[in-house]
């Protein structure tokens, strides 16, 4: 936990909050442990996260409508964004998981990483208050906006699929072209193919992230702004 604290730039006064945030429900079930899992902290962190992002967007974009702000916020707090935040400091490596989740790749599952990130936000809020939780969240939000999230949805794969489906004869597929690095810190490169022709390449710390980046490049090369 000390290594994780160094990675996130925050040291807990009450370590119990951090341990709770890292404890997936599968671990509690497997060990017959009576302690808490991170679901309650996830609930709290989700609300804190939403308030932090809403406050930031409200001040940053004084001329944008409610609908526009809602759309931007949704893209910043979606599963894809939050799981990518968690991967930046290798949160999955520190989770307490049950044997089933461990063996099925739970440490890199988007939904588990998303929930753990929200739980961590909730834990920091309980340990030190809103300002410290806000400081932690704001490590990620501006960079995500600068990357173009404010233009719309970050689900580039879905956007690309919807465009290609307009012609029923066309087919999209994703091909893993390279995998490098140690097991705990792998990098993946993926090509997205239109029928058999590559139309985009993406690199990421997970296959899903690489696929999203490949789809984003394909959309940009096709002249779409997503």
Active site residues: 46, 118
Indicate the angle between helix axes 15-22 and 110-128, nearest 10 degrees. Answer: 170
How far apart, in Å, do the first and last CA atoms of the chain sit?
A: 38
Alpha-carbon distance of 187 to 197, in angstroms, equals 23
8-state DSSP, 2? H
8 Å CB contact between 81 and 75: yes
Alpha-carbon distance of 161 to 155, in angstroms, equals 10
Which helix (H) or strand (E) segment holds residue 199: the answer is strand 197-204
Alpha-carbon distance of 206 to 221, in angstroms, equals 23
Alpha-carbon distance of 41 to 125, in angstroms, equals 10
Alpha-carbon distance of 3 to 210, in angstroms, equals 27
DSSP letter for each residue of 93-142: GG-B--HHHHHTTGGG-HHHHHHHHHHHHHHHHHHH-HHHHHHHHTTTHH
């Amino acid at each position: 936990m000390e290594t994780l604290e160094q990675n996130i730039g925050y040291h807990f006064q009450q370590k119990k909050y951090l341990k709770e945030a890292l404890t997936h429900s599968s671990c509690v079930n497997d060990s017959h442990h009576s302690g808490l899992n991170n679901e309650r902290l996830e609930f709290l962190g989700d609300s804190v996260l939403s308030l932090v992002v809403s406050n930031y967007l409200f001040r940053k974009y004084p001329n944008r409508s409610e609908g526009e702000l809602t759309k931007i916020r949704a893209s910043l707090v979606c599963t894809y964004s939050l799981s990518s935040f968690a991967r930046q400091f290798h949160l999955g490596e520190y989770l307490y998981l049950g044997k089933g989740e461990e063996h099925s790749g739970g440490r890199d599952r988007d939904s588990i990483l998303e929930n753990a990130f929200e739980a961590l936000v909730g834990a920091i809020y309980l340990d030190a208050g809103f300002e410290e939780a806000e400081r932690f969240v704001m490590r990620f939000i501006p960079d995500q906006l600068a990357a173009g999230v404010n233009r719309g949805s970050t689900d580039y794969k879905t956007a690309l699929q919807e465009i290609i489906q307009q012609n029923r004869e066309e087919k999209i597929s994703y091909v893993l072209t390279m995998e490098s690095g140690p097991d705990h810190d792998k990098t993946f490169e993926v090509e997205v193919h239109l029928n058999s022709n590559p139309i985009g390449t993406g690199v990421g710390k997970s296959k899903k992230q690489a696929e999203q980046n490949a789809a984003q490049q394909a959309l940009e090369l096709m002249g779409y702004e997503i």
